[in-house]
Amino acid sequence: MASSGTWTSSNVTGTNTNLTSLSPNSTYNVRVQTVCNSSSSSFSPIVNFTTLNQSGTCNVPGGLNATNITSTQAQISWSAVSGAISYILEYKVSASSIWLPVNVTGTTHTLSTLIPNSTYNYRVKTICSSNSSAFSPTSNFTTEEEQSGSGYCSSSGQNASLEWISRVAVGTINRTSGSDGGYFDATFMSSGVPRGRSQTLIHRAGYSGENRMLYWRMWIDLNQDGDFNDSGELLVSRSSNSSNDQYVSYLIPHSATLGSTRMRIQAKYNAYGDPCETFANGEVEDYTINITDLYGLPAEGEGQELNIINEIKMFPNPVGDDLNITFQAAQYLDLNIQIIDMFGRVLKEEEYHAQEGDNRFAIPVSELISGPYILILKNGNLIKNYRFIKSE
Ligand SMILES: [Ca+2]
Ligand SMILES: [Ca+2]
């Protein structure tokens, strides 16, 4: 040690050696002498080195700051630490538990390919020559909303491996899928949907493990202004932990703007989400809806009457489990019986062989969700149709 008057000597056979058990934060002098068989050289000139601060004091970085934040980037900086060789910057989406490390030699780093409109956590620790500091306290920043593209905000699940959207059916759209990694842009799929008539959304969840509770929401940009924030644009909001098809009624109001617009289906684990939210677990899928005034169904009593059946009674109405139908037939005939929803989608179809005289049969409807339906009795092009309500 430079402050000591005593040299410590060490016999070395090679040309290097490790000095151990040194005192921290101390300056040492070093000199080397060659030892031969019969004599020794004089000592070399003295060189100095200084040990680092007390073992374990590789200081935690301070002054963390996030600047130049865009929808996908943020510049992170912090104050330099004495003795630092490099730093480990870690960051993650706040909803995630997995930190992503970056080794940084300076005191600033720009994170890129971030998710828009998301809150991130970050922290930094110092790497010194022989040890490293603890991580700094966690700081946060939030990326901006996405600026480009469709104009619609983004929404996605960070993890869609446990639960995801496995089916969406609206009008003529019927997409089955596995996990799409948290978001799928299905806006290339489009269906006309009439306003002013009750419609059915079919949604289904996929699960890799237990059936956890998903909070489903459906938005349609009814006024086509590029967002889902206007009154009435949240059309479905319901929770389910079923992996079966779920039938949900919704209604496009007469005030909706006619034409193509965006529909967003969101299935978020554990809580309802916002239309622009990035969340931990679940999935989001976007579709195109063409809002129309076309009904596509014969009004009640229209069309060619099926006059060989009479005195038709349908009960109870509203119906719970079984819809009973009685009628009188003038002759034997085959009837095709359908139950359709208000979009015209056939949900049940049966063949019934009517006898001459009194006929009675029942159609189980317990699996239908509550709402209005149409019973259709057909024989060739002859048709009778009746409305009924499925109760809770
Ligand atoms: Ca999917
Ligand atoms: Ca809107």
Interval 277-336: pLDDT, tens: 999 999 999 999 988 764 444 434 334 567 778 888 889 989 999 999 999 988 888 888
Are 173 and 265 in contact, with CB atoms under 8 Å apart?
no
Q: Which helix (H) or strand (E) holds 141?
A: strand 139-142
249, exposed or middle or buried, with CB in 10 Å at 0-12, 13-18, 19+? middle
Kindly give the distance from the C-alpha atom of residue 326 to the centroid of ligand 1, in angstroms, as a whole number: 44
| Strand segments (E) across 171-306 | 173-176, 183-194, 198-207, 214-220, 234-240, 246-251, 259-269, 278-292
Kindly give the distance from the C-alpha atom of residue 12 to the centroid of ligand 2, in angstroms, as a whole number: 81
Pairing relationship of beta strands 278-292 and 183-194 according to DSSP bridges: parallel
Among all bound ligands, the one having the nearest atom to the CA of 204 is 1
Structure pTM?
Answer: 0.42
Q: Look at 253 and 52; give whichever has higher pLDDT.
A: 253
Give ion ligand 2 contacts, CB < 5 A. 221, 223, 225, 227, 230
- CA 240 from centre of chain: 16
User: Looking at the domain 156-292, which fold is it?
Assistant: Immunoglobulin-like (2.60.40)
Domain 309-390: homologous superfamily in CATH: Immunoglobulins (2.60.40.10)
Among all bound ligands, the one having the nearest atom to the CA of 231 is 2
Among all bound ligands, the one having the nearest atom to the CA of 168 is 1
Share of the chain above pLDDT 70, in %: 93
Kindly give the distance from the C-alpha atom of residue 175 to the centroid of ligand 1, in angstroms, as a whole number: 9
pLDDT(156) > 90? yes
pLDDT(338) > 50? yes
pLDDT(54) > 70? no
Helices (H), 42-99: none
Among all bound ligands, the one having the nearest atom to the CA of 181 is 1
Kindly give the distance from the C-alpha atom of residue 165 to the centroid of ligand 2, in angstroms, as a whole number: 23
Give start-end residues of each CATH 2.60.40.1930 domain in the chain: 156-292
Q: Quick one: average pLDDT of 240-245? A: 95
Q: Quick one: average pLDDT of 225-252? A: 93
At 322, the amino acid letter reads D
Give start-end residues of each CATH 2.60.40.10 domain in the chain: 65-142, 309-390
Are 276 and 308 in contact, with CB atoms under 8 Å apart?
no
Give the max Cα distance, the chain: 134
**Which residues have C-beta within 8 Å of that of residue 283, sequence separation ≥ 6?**
156, 157, 160, 163, 164, 165, 179, 180, 182, 183, 184, 266, 267
Is domain 65-142 in CATH 2.60.40.10, yes or no?
Answer: yes
Are 377 and 311 in contact, with CB atoms under 8 Å apart?
no
Kindly give the distance from the C-alpha atom of residue 239 to the centroid of ligand 1, in angstroms, as a whole number: 17
Give me the pLDDT at residue 210, please.
95
At 71, the amino acid letter reads S
Q: What span, in angstroms and rounded, lies between the C-alpha atoms of 270 and 332?
A: 56
Kindly give the distance from the C-alpha atom of residue 206 to the centroid of ligand 2, in angstroms, as a whole number: 29
